[in-house]
Structure 1
Amino acid sequence: MSNSRILVVEDEGIISKDIKNILSFLGYSVIGIASSGEEAIEKAMEMHPDLVLMDIVLEGDMDGVKAAE
């Protein structure tokens, strides 16, 4: 089991839930799911994840690359 805390950033709901289920099955702690770049930044600042699993192509004004910067 891993104590790594992961934030998933994915704008497709079914995909983000699938990623969460797989990571949880593998023993990781998914501490949140964000669906936009802006939400990802907000949650990362609040939750301090060990890893952010970021989709590059996101809906909205900010893509995953900009959010990661």
Structure 2
Amino acid sequence: LFHLSQRKKYELLIDMEDFEGSKAYARYSSFSIGPESDGYRLQLTGFINGGAGDSIIHISGQKFSTFDKDNDTWE
């Protein structure tokens, strides 16, 4: 993802549907992943509301974690 997101500008679209069938989305006009040396840090900007609210913006700037490398601040 790091290499792909460095080559050109990408948007991130998150489609959601609840158990009653109601649909909403959150869209960000800019999405990128930082290099391994920075823990694959996520960057999101340009929120466009699709009814879901800006509920994941708090993870922008956070590092990715994997089963063998804990990079985030979640306990």
Q: Same fold (TM over 0.5)?
A: no
Higher RCO (C-alpha under 8 Å, 6+ residues apart): 1
Q: Which structure: larger Rg?
A: 2
TM range, smaller chain: under 0.3
Higher fraction of strand: 2
